[in-house]
Amino acid sequence: MKVLRTLIVVLAAALALVLTACGGVNDVGTIPDQPVRGGVLEYGTDVQPVSGGLDPYVTTAFASQNILVQIYESLLTKDDKGRLKPGLATRWKKTGPLSYRFYLRHAEFSNGTALTATDVVFSFDTMKKAGASQAAMLTALKSVRAVNDHTVDFQLSAPSTSFLNLVAGEANGLIVSKAWYTSTPAAQRQRQALGTGPFMLTQWQDNVVIKLRRNPHYWHSPLPYLDGIDFKIIPDDQARLAALRQGSVDAIWLGDQQLAEQVSSEGFVTGKNAETRNLSLYVNATTGAMANLDFRRALSEGLNRPQIAKLASYGYGTTSLVVPRGDPAGLAPTKNTPYYTYDPSDARRLLARSGVTDPTVTIHYPSDASFARDVALYEVMQEQLKAVGIKVVLDPTPWAEILADYIKGSWDGLIAVPGTAQPDPTAYFNAFLVPGQPTNKSGKAGTRAAALLQQLRQTTSAKRQPVVLRRLENEVADKVLVIVPYVVAQRQEIWSRRLQGYQVDPYSFRRNLKKAWLVP
């Protein structure tokens, strides 16, 4: 299989060199000095929106979020250095110890109806009620009130470090039209969309293409320059790369960083993405062997994380705690991180002390082609844990089913749900620590960690936040409430010279496509 893979890569590279020698897809001639309006960008992507589709208050999937950011917008945004900037709100101010006021710009949804404060109030009320992931960051939000059509007041019940980050988060805090959302059946809201963003959804052909076209009512003139974007669904990395080399798409992203490096000498442009893809395996600490703390600790100490990062990610991975190392708030594991250092001898001691008669754990992981790069991780874990006496059963399952089981909280052992960048460091813990969330399977073991998470949310001192975060990370590691083998970049974006004015954003949401343009 490896020989065949190598042969495919060599042949593809040879084809690319031939194309380049003949002019090739990258020979675009003279590039204009100023952006040119028009043209549809053909972008090769790996998966389409899955569970929750395009409903911003239902979906939690990265595959959905990176489409949502093209259609919907939030009150604030952040620049690439993480600084708060205006979004649908032109300005904002703190009007009291626990209150904020936002002033809305004159914007329209893609159907031409005006954005009003009523839409903002409805959107935040719905976020809190819908059980979406961002709801956990709104626990301190007491009320939202429309002062007039373009002014909104927010009242908090307690200090919150999460609130403004959520309001400015990518694919979080998105504002919908109340009239449209309430008049559209739930199933249709997952397949349709209506936002104020630069593009609007015009067609979704399952597993083939998602077509977006310019929103004619977009407030930020002259953006976007593109007439539209066709996200072509091409699950296999090699096939996506071949499409780029052949010129049938203008841009792609790849999970395989080795492939991305191969095209660096072919004239294509390669973006640099932050390490925010944490390969999280969520623990069900309420049933089976995983309900035993000594067993979980034995499992954690039986993992040689640096070796896993080296072997399973071909050297591109980095050891990490729950908050990914690529996040500005991320902290590195240390020798004092509980049960994080590889210690097979102590792992065997803990396993014996646990009294577990059947030391077996199942890893449920996505089997889709777009997740193929992760399979080596679970196989390496299986071999490492076998050495300390723990049997690992691998359960490859379609991604849609994995996500559905995860959201419902209906899994045993470990379930692999690769994570994405979050608007606030507390958000990485919400799934397994917020009480009442179906995904929270930490049981009594997570009680102290949940309290520390609440403390982190209310710690407004920039100096104190890393201290509280370190305590929270250590508590999660001590009770082994989640397994994070390593983190890598979400994707590697590559595009031909025909695409101009584009640069990757730090968290791989492709938000800067609204600034991109095509050479005629």
User: 363-392, pLDDT tens digit by residue?
Assistant: 999 999 878 889 999 999 999 999 999 999
**Amino acid 80: pLDDT:** 76
**Amino acid 134: pLDDT:** 66
Give the whole-angstrom CA distance, residue 516 versus residue 508.
Answer: 15
Q: At what angle do helices 344-354 and 293-301 cross, to 10 degrees?
A: 160
Beta-carbon contacts of 419 under 8 Å, excluding residues fewer than 6 positions away, are 276, 277, 278, 279, 280, 324, 428
Mode of pairing for the β-strands spanning 414-416 and 251-254: unpaired
Minimal CA–CA distance to 280: which of 441, 68, 69? Answer: 441
Low-confidence stretches of the chain (pLDDT beneath 70): 1-25, 131-134
**Amino acid 79: pLDDT:** 84
Question: What does pLDDT average to over the chain?
Answer: 90
Minimal CA–CA distance to 222: which of 483, 464, 516, 519? Answer: 516
Q: What is the reported pTM?
A: 0.80
Instruction: Give the 3-state secondary structure of residue 354.
Output: helix
**Amino acid 25: pLDDT:** 61
Minimal CA–CA distance to 275: which of 235, 320, 310, 340? Answer: 320
Give the whole-angstrom CA distance, residue 47 versus residue 207.
Answer: 7
Q: Is the dihedral of CA 429, 450, 306, 6 positive or negative?
A: negative
Is 228 buried (19+), middle (13-18) or exposed (0-12) by CB count in 10 A? middle
SS3 per residue for 445-482: HHHHHHHHHHHHHCCCCCCCHHHHHHHHHHHHHHHCCE
398 prior amide bond cis, ω within 30:
no
Q: At what angle do helices 237-246 and 2-21 cross, to 10 degrees?
A: 10
Instruction: Give the 3-state secondary structure of residue 92.
Output: strand
pLDDT-above-70 percentage for the chain: 94
Q: What is the DSSP letter of 388?
A: T
For the chain, how many residues are written? Answer: 520
Q: Quick check: 365 and 413 in contact, CB under 8 A?
A: no
Instruction: Give the 3-state secondary structure of residue 107.
Output: coil
Instruction: Give the 3-state secondary structure of residue 154.
Output: strand
**Amino acid 14: pLDDT:** 44
